[in-house]
Amino acid sequence: MSEIELVIVAAAAIATAALTAVVGAGGGVVLLVVILQFVDPIVAIPVHGVVQLVSNGTRALTLRGNAETRLLRWYLPLLVPATVVGFLIADAMPRDVGRAVIGGFAIVAVCWPGATSWLTSRPGRERWFAFVGAMAGLVNPTIGAPGPLLAPAFRIATRDHVAFVATFSLVQVINHFVKVAVFAAAGFAWLANVSLMTTAAVGVVVGTRIGAHYLRRWDPIVLGRVFQIVVTAGATRLLLTSE
């Protein structure tokens, strides 16, 4: 990647990490869309996974003590096998098809949030999170940033907004760790993309610190509108450039 492209990714990483620290989810979609402007999905998804592992790890550490870990006993069992299946699907998918699928998902996620509400369970139905974990594993290697799909289930199951941000950050750490491990086992060329990963990782650490500091000061609704505009623009470009 060129230096100007790395600067763009760094700026996006800072902005999206700050957004996610305040809103709780969604920034990863924006960052993935930005990275996909420069590299193919089979490169963007594992690189994005490493960056989001850093981003969510920083956020989970910053908000430690607020996470509700009781949900993990149901969420985790099917996550790993489903991630392996999701990787096999992503690896077999043509690159332009992958870009179009991610772009389409991103637009649906921001323009029609109700489309993913079917994954949300009623309060108290913690066993439902076994299915949520399976869905997370299946789509994480294919669409790369399933936060908008998974977030509603955790939002309704947690006691308040801060608990949701903390819990979902921890869950995303696990999601991305498993995805990165699967790509590593498949022989992904990490060293060839180290500059991209390092640049974005530093950016998300800075952005998370900024967002966590202003978590209770910024209006999540206003930031959500900005998020919708940015994702729609980037995802539309992905769709238009896919053959």
- Residue type (1 letter), 76: L
Low-confidence stretches of the chain (pLDDT beneath 50): none
| Cα–Cα distance measured from residue 239 to residue 241, given in angstroms and rounded to the nearest whole number | 6
| Cα–Cα distance measured from residue 88 to residue 168, given in angstroms and rounded to the nearest whole number | 26
> What local confidence, expressed as pLDDT, does residue 29 receive?
77
The backbone region for 67, taken as left when phi is positive above 0, alpha when psi lies in -120 to 50, beta otherwise, is beta
| Cα–Cα distance measured from residue 224 to residue 237, given in angstroms and rounded to the nearest whole number | 20
| Cα–Cα distance measured from residue 142 to residue 157, given in angstroms and rounded to the nearest whole number | 26
Give the DSSP letter of residue 122. Answer: P
Please give the C-alpha separations between residue 6 and each of 39, 54, 145, in angstroms, as whole numbers. 12, 17, 20
> What local confidence, expressed as pLDDT, does residue 137 receive?
92
